[in-house]
Amino acid sequence: MEAVDDTGLAVMMRKAGARMGALAGKDEISLEWYPSLPSYLRGVEKNAFALCQYNWGILLSLCVTNWWFFFGFTWAPWHCTVAWIQWFNGLGLASYYLAIYLQMKNLMQVRLYQVLLFPVAIALLPLIFLRAAALAVLRGGIDWRGTFYPLEELKQNQKMKLLSLVFSNQD
């Protein structure tokens, strides 16, 4: 009954004292996470509301914070009335995207257009999360790989708590 089972397992291991790290294994293994936008939406449909502990307050806070950062980072710098500050902001933003591209192109075979579309994806993510939550509530649960999981049972049995993950004091 853990919709976000992979993250839940990581949280349980961490609470048990396990140490974690990350490894770039691009030459060791490959995995196509979602082959298309519809399959991505379906995958997020299962996980989004669970990441927010099936709590509308947490979900809405996540959405507002996400949009606040998005607009502050990509929109607000262009609305300064001082021309040289706009130019400086543009140069900074271009440098930021170039640095991301240079880091990610070899590590994950990311293409430049994917990096440039990243802000659009970040702006749309809250809408995807809101859609997923609304569908879970309207359906009374989530349907994953042919099995229906009632929302009340998911809430009662959830071990993976986003706030526990974010604010955990363990290394």
Tell me the average pLDDT of the chain: 82
The confidence score (pLDDT) of residue 166 equals 63
Residues 167, 158 contacting (CB under 8 angstroms): no
Between 89 and 50, name the one with better pLDDT.
50
Write the DSSP string, 111-137: -HHHHHHHHHHHHHHHHHHHHHHHHHH
- State yes or no: pLDDT of 31 exceeds 60: yes
pLDDT at 170 over 60: no
Query: Is residue 171 pLDDT above 60, yes or no?
Result: no
* Pick from 26, 166, 39, 51: nearest CA to 110: 26
The total of other beta-carbon atoms located within 10 Å of residue 116's CB is 12
Q: Report the C-alpha gap between 72 and 67 in whole angstroms.
A: 8
Q: How distant is the alpha carbon of residue 144 from its chain centre? A: 19
Mind listing the pLDDT tens digit for each residue in 36-46?
888 888 878 88
| Residues linked to residue 87 through DSSP beta bridges, in sequence order | none
User: Token digits for 131?
Assistant: 């859609």
> Is 125 or 29 the better-scoring residue by pLDDT?
125
Q: Which amino acid is at 114?
A: Q
> Residues 103, 106, 109, 112: is their CA dihedral positive or negative?
positive
More confident residue, 58 or 87: 58
63 pLDDT more than 80: yes
Tell me which of 27 and 146 has the higher pLDDT. 146
* Structure-block tokens of residue 35: 């082959």
Is residue 152 predicted with pLDDT exceeding 70? yes
SS3 4: coil
Residue 30 confidence (pLDDT) above 60: yes
**1: which 2 tokens?**
């009954």
> pLDDT tier at 131 (50, 70, 90 boundaries)?
very high
Single-letter amino acid, residue 165: L
Band (pLDDT 50/70/90 cuts) for residue 88 is: confident
